[in-house]
Structure 1
Amino acid sequence: MPSLDTSTPLAPIVQRADAPASLPEITAGGLTWRPATRADAPALLELRNTIAEADAEPYREVLAEITEMFDAPWRRFDTDSLLGHDADGALVAYAQVESMPGDTRTVRVVLFGGVHPARRGEGIGRELFAWQVARGRQVLAASGKDLPARIAAYAEDDGPAAKARMFDHAGFTPRRFYSELRRDLRETAEPLPDIRLDGLRLVPFSAELDEATRLAHNDAFRDHWGSEPQTPEQWTHGRTGFAPQWGALVVDPAPDVDALLADPDTDAATADALRAGQPLVVAYALNERYDEDFAVRGYSFGYTAILGTRRAYRGRRGAPAALVAGMRAMQGDGMEFACLDVDTENPTGATGLYAGLGFTKTHGSRMLSIEL
């Protein structure tokens, strides 16, 4: 897999980003362009769902998911978004350049966007994507973070061929591949296993343990490719589909504080929490519910959004126990399947874990990027 060469010192981010002084003009389609605002949420929802239906994507969105995007304080819609309207005022195309405030290992921008199916083939998408890439370079240059950098986009494996050609033409290379998996929860399916924990305690998700779960997540994903620490604002944002009643946590009721503090792998935030006597979450499964997707897929399901185990607690079955507990909660609420996504090169052996629990692949997606 292509990667950035780290054998020599990196040039300053301003040089590597090679940001243009001005952004390219979009002339294709004869559209009128302006930044997105919160008032555009209904039209943006309609366009995004129209695109998803045309491209046979396995999901749909609801208005709350769109409006909550505008609530994140780190998003700059005035400079990092565009909407293209036709002469009648109908929304035809959109673009968003997303950057994350918590990046400490790789500074990233992610590009989202699309064109109404009825207006494809006019060059709108190609010009709009060029604008996004140029704006992404400007955002990276302005970050001031002299770190490895990435401009990324995502695509379904069976998405439009024209979109794949556009990415290739713009110099994007596939870097990571993801599989969506599902596990049958119906009465006719194999029963969920009982997983016993030694010295650890399985508890339901609670708001009181939310911050402790964030610290566990940042520790668990330190060695995952492309993952970056989540700030408290990032962690609690974007929870329209969050199903706390399905969340499961594993805590250590009597952690060896001295040993953990002496461990060089213990991060500073966790060390502070240990010294303060706060609860130690060591594994977690946080799940989501998207009723609007049931008809698209033809079945009801719960979705495991994030699953992880602290590095010092791997091998103690915390994550499998939390995952199964979440699936039991889904099953109790009548869900027919449990679903999740996995990086096919996950370093913790998660793919084998899911296979052992009866998960099978339904479809795939990929991340493409320019590495700087």
Structure 2
Amino acid sequence: MTATDTDPEAGARLAPIAERAAAPAQLPHVTAGDLAWRPATRDDARALLDLRNTIADVDREPYRETLEEILEMFDAPWRRYDTDSLLGFDADGVLRAYGLVDSMPGDTRTVRAFLFGGVHPERRGEGIGRELFAWQVARGRQVLAASGKDVPARLAVFAEDDGPVEKNRLYERFGFGAHRFYSELMRDLRDLDAAPVPDVALEGSLRLVPFAAEYDEPTRLAHNDAFRDHWGSEPQTPEQWKNGRSAFAPAWSFVVVDDAPDVEALLASPDTDAETAAALRAGEPLVVGYQLASRFEEDWAVRGFTFGYTDILGVRRAYRGRKVAVAALAAGMRALAADGIEFAALDVDTANPTGADGLYASLGYTKTHGSRMYSVEL
């Protein structure tokens, strides 16, 4: 973690983002492999899905994607595929390589550009990946510079711990370092008599309820508060929050609400953000914790078992230490078991500041897989 991650005044000492990003005036051309290159469109979703899943299969990645997930990428209103994507087709019109640059409109503390891409296994070793990644890095720097946000900045790419070493070497040659590590954890749900899920009694005016549409926006506000002190997390706008829900499983998701919050104390607290303050004044429900889950059925055959995945688990900072996270997660685990799902799964940042590793271990979660984030910090 750098000084700019913890020091709120550090941003004032940074050079302007346009200077730090060192964006090139022109993007490099990709000539290797003799492919025809153009930006992606929504009509390319099926071809992109096939390529991404082919790469995942050969590289033995533990997940697969659906057409709905790819279409959601194109439907996000903030994404600019006309400028931030590149597809390479062979002479027969078959998609052989792709590169995407993704950025998020809600970034306020650190502006980020994420790089996603790959080359069909049959076309590796021709230099396509190296030239395509050079294009992504250059475009990512342009995106950061154009943001106008004079805060710390990051170019980032993700990799599986047991993925092809050639990819990691490519990232390192471009100056990317492995700066963050993540663990996939799973909990066996097949015999809750032998390994019971704890019963958690919430105190006072706290109440555990199934997720419902009325709690959607209050949960977004809770999430932005809960993850404000997490490295690499940025506030989510309403558009970001609602995007990417094709696998969302409301029946496995739960929130904790405070039916009688101390509104005056919360409004007086400097930690209460403006959106939460407005919701409190309007008498909106106050979600203080949440566990939102997804159902990735296409992954079940790859893994050899069924599982439900906790996308996000969080607790407002003012409500930590009151067993809110345990109550929400335990409710999700019970819902999974009731539906005959064999395992509960989630991912955790190994440097999570809230001691999440200890919480998950106490509930029977163990590590099954790992991944990392390579980045250039600007």
Match of 1:268 in 2: 274
Deviations 1:83-122 (A, max 9, x none): 0001111100001000100001000000000000111111
Structure 2 counterpart of 1:362? 368
Task: Give the deviation of 1:3 after TM superposition.
Answer: 6.2
Cα deviation for residue 210 of structure 1 reads 0.3
Q: Give, in whole Å, the separation in 2 of the partners of 1:69 and 1:371.
A: 25
Pick from 160, 169, 172 the counterpart of residue 173 of structure 2.
169
Matched, 1:321 2:327: yes
Rate the CA distance shift 1:7–1:65 in 2: closer, same or farther, 3 A: closer
- Contact persistence 2:180–2:373 (CA under 8 A): yes
Please state if 1:193 is matched with 2:198: yes
Selected match of 2:241 from 229, 235, 238? 235
- Match of residue 300 from structure 1: 306
Aligned partner of 1:102 among 103, 106, 109: 106
1-side partners of 2:111 and 2:237: how far apart?
14
Any idea what SS the aligned residue of 2:171 has? helix
Encode CA deviations 1:147-175: one digit per residue, 9 max, x unaligned: 11000000000110100100000000111
Q: CA deviation at 1:251?
A: 0.5
Equivalent residue number for residue 227 of structure 2? 221
In the other structure, the counterpart of 1:20 is 24
Q: Match for 2:126: what amino acid? A: E
| From 341, 358, 378, the counterpart of 1:352 | 358
SS at match of 1:166: helix
Percent identity for Structure 1 against Structure 2: 73
Whole-Å separation in 2 of the counterparts to 1:328 and 1:197: 17
Q: What TM-score results when the alignment is normalised by the length of structure 2?
A: 0.97
- Aligned AA (1:45): L
Seen in structure 2, the aligned counterparts of structure 1 residues 7 and 69 have a Cα distance that, compared at 3 Å, is: closer
Amino acid across the alignment from 2:331: A
User: Are residues 4 and 130 of structure 1, via their aligned partners in 2, closer, same or farther at CA, if it must alter by over 3 Å?
Assistant: farther
Q: Select 1:336's aligned residue among 326, 339, 342.
A: 342
Aligned equivalent of 1:282, options 288, 305, 314: 288
Other structure's SS at 1:48 match: helix
More deviation, 187-196/213-222: 187-196
Tell me which amino acid in the other structure corresponds to 1:110.
F
Code of the residue aligned with 1:195 in structure 2: it is: V
Kindly indicate whether residue 39 of structure 2 is the aligned counterpart of residue 35 of structure 1: yes
Once the two structures are superposed, what CA deviation does each residue of 1:182-233 show, in whole Å capped at 9, x if it has no partner? 0000026501111111011000000011000000000000000010000000
**In structure 2, what is the Cα distance between the partners aligned to 1:147 and 1:46?**
37
Inter-CA distance 19–121: structure 2 relative to 1 (3 Å threshold):
same
Greater shift after overlay, 185-194 or 323-332? 185-194
Q: Corresponding residue for 1:132?
A: 136
Q: Cα distance, 1:68 vs. partner?
A: 1.2
Q: Distance in 2 between matches of 1:8 and 1:122?
A: 44
Q: TM-score, normalised by structure 1?
A: 0.98
Maintained 8 Å contact 2:293/2:309: yes
CA distance in 1: counterparts of 2:273 and 2:245, whole angstroms:
26
| RMSD (Å), alpha carbons | 1.1
Provide, for residues 237-260 of structure 1, a one-character-per-residue CA deviation record: whole Å limited to 9, x for no partner.
000110011110000110000111
Verify the 8 A CA contact 1:257 1:274 in the aligned structure 2.
Answer: yes
Tell whether the 8 Å contact from 2:259 to 2:286 is kept in structure 1 after alignment. yes
2:63 aligned residue (59, 62, 67): 59
Give the counterpart of 1:181 among 161, 180, 185.
Answer: 185
Matching residue within 66, 75, 79 for 1:75:
79
| Distance in structure 2 (CA, Å) of the matches to 1:346 and 1:10 | 26
Q: How does 1:203-222 map to 2 (within 5 A)?
A: 203-222=209-228
For 1:149, give the aligned amino acid.
A
Q: Per the alignment, in what secondary structure is the counterpart of residue 18 of structure 1? A: coil
Contact 2:48/2:95, CA 8 A, preserved across alignment: yes
Q: Distance in 2 between matches of 1:140 and 1:44?
A: 25
One-letter identity of the residue aligned with 1:177:
F
Q: How many residues align?
A: 372
SS of the equivalent of 2:179 reads strand
In 1: Cα distance, 2:114 partner to 2:146 partner = 15
What letter is aligned with 2:95?
A: L
1:7 and 1:281, CA in 2 relative to 1: closer, same or farther beyond 3 A?
Answer: closer
Displacement of 1:4 after TM fit? 5.2
Q: Is the 8 A contact 1:241 1:288 kept in 2?
A: yes
What is the letter of the counterpart of residue 321 of structure 2? G
5+ residue gaps in structure 2?
A: none
